[in-house]
Structure 1
């Protein structure tokens, strides 16, 4: 679960509501009536419904998958590069001992379809250039699909303030028409709609759509990194590279902090043996 996203959103909502309800001159200082002032049905219809209508109109097929997008965004560490490095090193060891055909059993155990496909391509003795071409093309197409989804939420982020401005114009027009004294009672409500719609548009854009787009972009980068590691590892296994050198090569795809963790994790068993030998001596 992506806990940090949930914490961030909840804090943003809390501080916004606190800022609305807080009044230092009142006793008690929290005035719940202020919250009611920010609830306006016409403003909700204009901004929220209008924004989602535009998103659906621009991306009719992708909009149906919004629940799935949210589920992906909320997953944390779905793609762990260290795990892929460990698996590839294990595959390299098996291939050096028993040949590439011995990897077929490991391929069937994979839950990642891309990883399984990559293993089967070398098990079937395909040309290395063809293997890399197929896998690279898969990565490009996957990234393009992910970016299209991110673009949908960015579109929503752009549309929300625009509908806030539309609501503001509607409220101002109605307010100005009432200035002739014919219906002065509508002046306050019309002005309220004018301002609250701008508020709704800003909140929808910067608290809802922008964080979703940013988190989906992060998930895309994590998946693409793991797939690049798979491609490099699979090509090295096909060429018969030493598993030790393979690990060193694959670690270069990761940040230094991730590399240190992977190296420590990979070195623990040997260090334990050396420690025991040292104690015996």
Structure 2
């Protein structure tokens, strides 16, 4: 079987170009850029909170020995953890730290969902673009009924456009969307594990008010 038989630039342009145009029109530019950038994460291992939990344990030892202010000199690559540690250094309590982590986690989930939705939208658009390519090929075929060679070329566009749309949707776009959603669910769960130890650290390092008790007059005498 000659694979070149299944290559048609016109059908490919209709399906590929139409799918891309649909994604541009229906998806905000920031979400579309995020969806493309998310392709780099597919070969990576699933997110695990274990390295961050070990780092939090080390921060607890540092704060116990040198005080919470010593954490301000720590190099923290993870943005969520860095924000929580900054709040602890500033003296915020556990409720504030937990609320900050929950907000950052929800915002991260929204970004992941937006990227996955962009690819799911392309999976929906690709078969429709394939049908459009089929209709274009059929119209071209009927217009050129007197030319057998032109009929064959138009028929190829009609059939291959449907094929390209099905392949693009089911072998490219939808698998990417599903993998991004699965990775987002794992990361959301793993990041939820950071809240309790960071809140406990914030509770331990929160500044305590100093109370002064006035001396009784008889004690002064």
The TM-score, its normalising length taken from structure 1, stands at: 0.65
From 59, 62, 69, the equivalent of 1:94 is 62
* RCO comparison, higher one (Cα < 8 Å, 6+): 2
2:131 matches 1:162: no
Map of 1:53 onto structure 2: 21
Deviations 1:5-38 (A, max 9, x none): xxxxxxxxxxxxxxxx3xxxxxxxxxxxx21111
**Max radius of gyration: which structure?**
2
Distance 2:127 2:63 in 1: 57
Distance 2:76 2:172 in 1: 35
Deviations 1:136-160 (A, max 9, x none): 1121122112211111111111111
Q: Which runs of 5+ in 1 are unaligned?
A: 1-20, 22-33, 242-281
Query: Does the 8 A contact of 2:133 with 2:158 survive in 1?
Result: yes
Map of 2:150 onto structure 1: 186
Deviations 1:107-153 (A, max 9, x none): x3111111111111112111322222222112112211221111111
2:189 matches 1:220: no
CA shift, 1:73, in A, is 2.7
Q: Which runs of 5+ in 2 are unaligned?
A: 206-221
From 69, 72, 82, the equivalent of 2:38 is 69
Note the 1:106-145 alignment, pairs <5 A.
Answer: 108-145=74-111
Query: Does the 8 A contact of 1:46 with 1:167 survive in 2?
Result: yes
Number of aligned residues: 204
SS class of match (2:139)? helix
Distance 1:218 1:145 in 2: 14
Map of 1:249 onto structure 2: none
Distance 1:130 1:81, change over 3 A: closer
Distance 2:103 2:59 in 1: 23
CA shift, 1:191, in A, is 1.6
Distance 2:40 2:137 in 1: 37
The TM-score, its normalising length taken from structure 2, stands at: 0.81
Backbone CA RMSD of aligned residues: 2.3
